[in-house]
């Protein structure tokens, strides 16, 4: 995700290729992207309907399972929680990898700072979804991020 590259740029740092090629790093990035996209689809479901945009996880699951949007949002919320847990596992794996590799000191600190920035970006996106008028729409919208699905 391009926005994650800005984290590196802001630190005047580039994740070393050896780290970038690890499963742990890729799992951190992929879990972070998934959380952002899934949270967006939950919060943007009503607006996506209005805009005629069919490529929304809630809409797709609702259609696929012939269920309600609320049922689909529950499934997507569960996926968000799973991907947050996956992120934390990947973050731990990355930390373990860095300790066992030749990557140490300031370089390891900056790598973990970028990983933490990915989490912060996802948290900031969720705050934006909740605070902006973009997704406020119907106050009875069943498709909302549940409070227990926030980052810890």
User: How does pLDDT run along the chain (152 residues), one tens digit per residue?
Assistant: 677 888 888 888 999 999 999 999 999 999 999 999 998 898 888 888 888 888 899 999 999 999 998 999 999 999 999 999 999 999 999 999 999 887 779 999 999 999 999 999 888 887 777 776 556 555 555 555 554 555 55
Please, which residues have CB within 8 angstroms of residue 10's CB and are 6 or more apart in sequence? none
Domain boundaries of the chain, sorted by first residue: 2-149
Architecture field, domain 2-149 = Orthogonal Bundle (1.10)
CB of 17 within 8 A of CB of 111?
Answer: no
CA 7, 55, 52, 65 dihedral sign is: negative
CB of 32 within 8 A of CB of 117?
Answer: no
Query: Vertex 88, ends 134 and 75: CA angle to 5°?
Result: 50
């Amino acid at each position: 995700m391009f926005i994650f590259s800005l984290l590196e740029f802001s630190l005047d740092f580039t994740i070393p290729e050896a780290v970038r090629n690890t499963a742990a790093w890729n799992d951190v990035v992929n879990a972070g992207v998934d959380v952002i996209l899934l949270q967006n689809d939950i919060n943007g479901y009503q607006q996506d309907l209005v805009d005629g945009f069919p490529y929304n996880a809630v809409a797709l699951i609702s259609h696929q399972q012939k269920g309600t949007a609320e049922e689909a949002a529950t499934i997507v919320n569960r996926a968000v929680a799973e991907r947050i847990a996956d992120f934390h596992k990947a973050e731990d794996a990355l930390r373990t990898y860095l300790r066992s590799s030749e990557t140490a000191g300031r370089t390891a600190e900056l790598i973990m700072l970028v990983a933490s920035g990915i989490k912060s970006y996802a948290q900031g996106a969720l705050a934006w979804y909740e605070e902006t008028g973009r997704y406020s729409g119907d106050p009875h919208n069943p498709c909302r991020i549940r409070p227990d699905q926030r980052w810890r």
